[in-house]
Amino acid sequence: MFVTHEWWEFAFRWLHIISGIMWIGLLWYFNFVQTPSMPKIPDEQKPAISKVIAPTALFWFRWGAMATIITGLILAGMSGFLGSALKLGIGDHVAKNTAIGLGMWLGAIMWFNVWFIIWPNQKKVLGIVNATPDEKKKAGRVAGLTSRTNTMLSVPMLYCMASASHYFAMG
Amino acid sequence: MKNPLDSLGQTVLLGFILALVAHLLIRAIA
């Protein structure tokens, strides 16, 4: 029977990677494609992005982030390194746990940014909650800069996540 | 001073620098 503890652990790793691609793929779509393209789109066509594409992309983006952190925490718990990783492996001298722990903290900061900074501000920008034009402008700036911060953090986060299993695990 | 995060190129460059910092930090802690 293939449904062993090892299989479930792998299943959560698989779901973690699927949700992580959904999340970071859309983060990179926003930063590498949508935001730089907006100034080149004629004003009358901009609502196609702001009213249709962006809200749908933001839905899968924030729920992708949620699924990634939940499956990641379950995976870390099942793998037995959650406690060591959360304290960055300090005192344990296991490089793999330090690497995955640093990746987990970077991912957790990014998840917090999505749910508590980017999404509340995007709701003002997209008109889901009421805001004055000044508040909308400020919210757009805060959401944009936080999204850029997450793009920056995604590079070391993926370095930590991938190196934990494929480099630091080698000793 | 201009915010480096306003530039996509500088954002990515900072990300690569932080990855190097992360590597050194992991080696230093472990």
ipTM of predicted assembly, 2 dp? 0.97
Question: For residue A26, is pLDDT > 70?
Answer: yes
pTM: 0.95
- Put simply, the answer to whether A148 touches B11 (Cβ < 8 Å) is yes
pLDDT digits (tens, 9 = 90+) for A90-123: 999 999 999 999 999 999 999 999 999 999 999 9
What is the residue extent of each domain of chain B? 1-30
Looking at the partner chain, which of A98, A152, A159 has a beta carbon nearest the beta carbon of B30?
A98
Cα–Cα dist B22/A55, whole Å: 34
Closest-CA distance, A55 to chain B, in angstroms, reads 22
Calculate how close chain A gets to B16, using CA atoms only, in Å. 6
